[in-house]
Amino acid sequence: MVTAKSTSYAPKGNAFVGTEGIYNLPHHQGEIDRLQRQHNFILSSTGGLLLSTPVGTNATLRILDSGAADGTWLRSLAVHYPNQKWSLHGIDIGSALFPPPSPDGPVVDLQKHDIRKPIPGYLYLPESFDIVHQRFLVWALKTQEWPQVVRNLRSVLKPGGWIQLVEAQWVDRDTPFDPVKFPNLAKMSEMQKWSTAAFGMNAYIAYELEDLLRGLGFVNITKTSFALGYGAMAREEQWRVASAYMSVEAYRSLGHKLPHGGIPGVARTPAEFDAFLDDLRDEVLKHGYAPQLNIVIGQKPQKELRASL
């Protein structure tokens, strides 16, 4: 019998027990459905790729997912790599999304931990993981927090182990949308820049992952990129409509966070903001939106000068 271990049980219904004061997107039970659909959409866009790190060993690979939510990504590993033996572990700042124990699926150990803080030894021993993975924390971490977060993840990585960071270039810093041809996509970029800058976050972190890993002593750094096509640009027809709706879903929660006067150039009131998101969804469905998804890996050296890191 297999079970999913967790530190707490998910509440019934959509009661808010999350951490939206820290995480700038919804972090409550109703988010599970969106995250699972997002995960499947990413698999469609990447041709089913979950890891670009080396796999395929007879030994059990011990893996940690940072920002694991309900453990969807971890459970997906067992499905997509059935011949690999896994020891699956995840951490998240809140336990509200952790599922209750289940007899179905692989064993997944989920623990509550704020990754901005060092990972304590009673939770996970130093240098005990073969692979550490983290995806889509652009709206969760402030700009200055990224180096320390990666250091914390590095501390539990075995010498020779791999880290994988996954972020999307949501805002194209080189080729912005033409506001005449794509008025709502152009507004979306302004909204994305506002929703990160207003909370001290970095909208362009996906461009900086390689330098971040290099500066923290990782070697054999490699980037694999895919177009994350929404709406008319979806890789598979089955995702054309669903992804257009998905492209605006997460932003709905920003409506109640609008400052006085709204978001400059986007919307002045929550009602205007909702109307903008409806128009954006329709524009994505008609023209598409395809930010580049960057999967960046780096290897922790077998031997290193610890005092310098």
Q: Report pLDDT for 153.
A: 99
SS3 readout for the chain: CCCEECCCCCCCCCCCCCCCCCCCCCCCCCHHHHHHHHHHHHHHHHCCCCCCCCCCCCCCEEEEEECCCCCHHHHHHHHHCCCCCEEEEEEECCCCCCCCCCCCCCCEEEEECCCCCCCCCCCCCCCCEEEEEEECCCCCCEHHHHHHHHHHHHHCEEEEEEEEEEEECCCCCCCCCCCCCCHHHHHHHHHHHHHHHCCCECCCHHHHHHHHHHHCCCEEEEEEEEECCEHHHCCCHHHHHHHHHHHHHHHHHHHHHCCCCCECCCECCHHHHHHHHHHHHHHHHHHCECCEEEEEEEECCCCCCHHHC
Residue ranges covered by each domain of the chain = 4-301
- CATH number of the structural domain 4-301: 3.40.50.150
Residue ranges, the chain, pLDDT below 70: 1-30, 304-309
Q: Report pLDDT for 17.
A: 36
Tell me the whole-structure pTM to 2 decimals.
Answer: 0.89
pLDDT digits (tens, 9 = 90+) for 46-78: 999 999 999 877 899 999 999 999 999 999 999
